[in-house]
A and B are shown apart, each in its own frame.
Chain A
C-alpha cells in the first residue's frame, strides 16, 4: 500500500497525496476520533460528512497540527508528518480554511497573507513581492480582493477568499475547508464551489467538511461519513443518495417530527417597523407577528441581523424606532428582566458564553433568571435548598445527566447544558419563546429532544420564534417562515409555500425591497 511515490508533485493519478492511518484522539473519557483511516487522491474532493460532535473538526485539527493524536499517523506525499506542528503541516503543503476565520482585523489583507511566510527575523517585510504574488494568484483563481485593505473592512465572502489565498500563497497542495458555507449566501456558496472546481482542475486536492447533505452531493467526488468519532462509511458521491448518507450520518433512519397543524391563536408579540443598531447587528424596519401555538422559523445567513432580533426579544436591546408589543401591550423600559416578567422564555445562541456561568453550579445556574422570585429568596437572602430542589426537578424532568445540583455546569456535556437551559427557559410556562440556534452542536438524541419540547410548548399555546442556520430544521418545525437579510425581514410564508430555492434567493437579499415586504397582520 505505501508505495514509494514520494515526488512532491505526487505525480501518478491514484497515488494518495494524504493518508491518515488509525487516528485516535481522546479528551478525557470522550473518544473524539476512533481509529480513523483514509486517503486522499490528487485532484480529488473528499467530503467529510458528519453531525456536530462527530469528530470532523478534531480530525482536521490533528491533521493541521493543532492537536496531537494519541495514536495513528499522518502521511503527506508519502512522508510522515511530525505531530503537533502547524508549521510542518504548512510546509508539507496543507492549507486550512477554518470555520472561524483566522484573520487579524487590525492588519491588511497583504499582511495577513504574508504573516509567517518570511523568516521571522527578516529585517523587512517584502511587500512588493507579496503584492505581486497575490495579484497573480487572484488573477489565476478568480479570487479578487484588494491587498491593501484592512481585514476589518471586508465582507464575509471576501474574508473567505483571503483565507483561500493564504493557503495558495504558501503553495498548498491540499486544502481543507471546515464548514466553509456556514456564513455564505447561496450565491456566494456557488462562487466558492466554482473556485474549488478551478483549484481541483489545477491539481489541488480538497477536503470539504460539512454537515449539509446537498452541498456534499454538489461538490464532492467521494464522501466519508463520521459518526461518534468513527468512520461510519465511505461512498462515491455518484453512487449514493442523500437518504443513504443521512442514514449513515445519524446511524438510523431519522423520522423527522411531524408537527400536527395547530390553529394559530392570538398575537402574543408584535414588532411594527422596528429598527435598531446594536453590537449584535442591526434591524431595519422589521415587522412581524408571533401568534400563540405557532412556530415562526427565521432563516438567513449568519450575521444578517438574526442576532439583533434575538437580542431584541431577549430584552438585551430596545427598538430605536418602531414598536414592540408583548401580550398586546407596547413595551416601555425593555430589559432582560422586563422580558422575563413579560413571559418571554429565552434560549440564547451561545450556551457557554451567554446561557450559563461555567464556574457556577447547576443550581446557581438554573435560578439565574428567577432568583428574585419569592420561591428562591426573601429579604435579600437566597433559599439554597429551594434552588437545589428546583435544579433537581429540572434534572429529573428533562433527563439531564449530572452528578448533583452542586456540580459545576462547565463539566456537563453540551446536550445536558442545553436541556438545563431549556428547563430554565420553559419555567414557568412562557407565553413567548425565543429559541436561538437551540440545537447547534448537539447530537441527534439531544436535537430531537429539544424539538419535542419546543413542539410541546407550541401545543400548549406558546408563540415560538425559532432562529436557525440549519434550513432543514426551519423547514421541519416552522408553521411560518421568514427570511432575514441585511437586517430586513421578508414577508412570512406558510409551510411549504416557498421552495428552498426561493428561500435561498431571499437569504441572498433578493426580493427584499420595500414593496415586497408584507405586513403580516
Chain B
C-alpha cells in the first residue's frame, strides 16, 4: 500500500506525467480555441495522426526538428481549413464533418506512409528532441526534473497555454473569438467577419492539434506507428469540457489526467499482473467519461457552439 503511495513522490513519475500531458496540452488548447469560436472540431483525432506523421516524416527525410514541427502545424492547418470551409460558410453538420476529417486525415496519412515506406516491417527511427535541462531550476528536487528537464516541445506546450490565455482574455482578437462562440451577431455588428474569425480559429486550433500529434513521434517517441494516437484526440475533447473552456483549467485537467495515466502504468508494474493490464489501459477512457459526467451539470458551453451563422442572421 505504501509503495502505491510512494510512486507519487518519485521524480520519474512526475517527469512521465508531464511528458504524457504535453501532447494533450497542445491538442486540448487547439480544441479549446475552435470551440471558443463556436466550432466543435471532431477532426482532432485524425489531425493528430496527420501531424504525428507529417512532423516525423519531415525529419526522416532530412529536415530539421523545428522545421518538422512547422510542417506538422501546416498540415494541421490545412485540415483545419477544410473543416472550417465545410462547417463555417457552408454550415454543414460539425459532427459529420469532424468524423469525416478524422477518417480522411487518418487514411491519407496511412496511405502516404505506405507510399513513403512501402516495405518496412519495423518503422525507422529519427533523432528526436532531447531533454533540455534548464540550469539551476532543473536541480530542484522532484519539481525540477518534472518541469525543467523536459524537451523543448514540452516547454512550448506551456508557452502555448500562456499564449492562448493571453490572446483569449487580453487581446482584441481574443474578444472576437470568444464573442464568435457566444453570440456571432455581436461580432458582425462590430464590423468583424464571423466567418474569418471562425475559420482562423479552426485553422490555428488544428495546427496545435497536429503539433500535439507530432510531439508523440518527435519527442515522446522517435518513430511513427499506426494507431499511435489511440483516442487521445477524443480525450482532449473531454478535457476541454472538463476545463470549462478555460486554458488554465484545461491545462490542470491535462496534467491531472496524465498523472493518473503515469500512475496506472506504475501501479500496473507494482501489481505484477494480478489485475489484467487491460483494466489499467481502460482507465484513461473511463476517467474521461467520468470527468464529463462530473462537470456536465454545471458546464456552461459557449452558447453558439455547433450553431452555424449566416451574415445578417439574428
Contact = CB atoms under 8 A, between A and B. Distances in A.
Question: Closest 10 A-B residue pairs measured CB to CB?
Answer: A66-B312, A116-B190, A87-B191, A102-B189, A104-B179, A104-B182, A90-B191, A118-B172, A102-B185, A102-B186
Contacts, number: 94
Given A96-B189, A102-B188, A125 B172 contact: yes
Interface string A99-113: 110111111000110
A104 B170 contact: no
A91 interface: yes
Contact of A116 (B174, B183, B191, B302): B191
A86 B170 contact: no
A223 B188 CA distance: 29
Interface in A98-138: 98-100, 102-107, 111-112, 114-125
A112 B171 CA distance: 13
B173 interface: yes
A60 to B, nearest CB: 10
Nearest to B314: A100
Contacts of A102: 183, 185-186, 188-190, 314
A61 B312 contact: yes
B312 A115 contact: no
A105 B187 contact: no
A90 B190 CA distance: 7
A104 B183 contact: yes
B175 to A, nearest CB: 5
A89 B192 CA distance: 12
A115 B314 contact: no
B19 interface: no
Nearest to B167: A123
B178 A121 contact: no
Contacts of B182: 104-107
Contacts of B185: 98, 100, 102
B201 to A, nearest CB: 12
B170 A125 contact: yes
A502 B171 CA distance: 49
11 contacts: A86-B190, A86-B191, A104-B183, A107-B175, A107-B182, A112-B179, A115-B187, A120-B192, A122-B171, A124-B171, A125-B170
A120 B178 contact: no
Contacts of B178: 104, 106-107
Interface residues of A, number: 34
Nearest to B182: A104
B311 A66 contact: yes
Contacts of B175: 107, 111, 114-116, 125
A116 B192 contact: yes
Interface of B, secondary structure class, is: helix
Interface string B274-314: 00000000000000000000000000101100000001101
A227 interface: no
Given A87-B191, A90-B191, A106-B302, A119 B172 contact: yes
Contacts of B186: 102-104, 112, 115
A54 B68 CA distance: 59
A332 to B, nearest CB: 28
Nearest to A120: B173
Contacts of B300: 106
B312 A120 contact: no
A55 to B, nearest CB: 14
A67 interface: yes
Contact of B190 (A67, A99, A115, A125): A115
A166 interface: yes
B187 A116 contact: yes
A118 B175 CA distance: 11
A166 B190 contact: yes
Interface string B131-175: 000000000000000000000000000000000000000111111
Nearest to A100: B314
A116 B176 contact: yes
A171 to B, nearest CB: 13
B192 A115 contact: yes
Listed residue (B174, B175, B183, B300) with the most chain A CB atoms within 10 angstroms of its CB: B175
Contacts of A89: 191
B172 A114 contact: yes
B224 to A, nearest CB: 36
Nearest to A121: B173
B172 A120 contact: yes
A111 B172 CA distance: 9
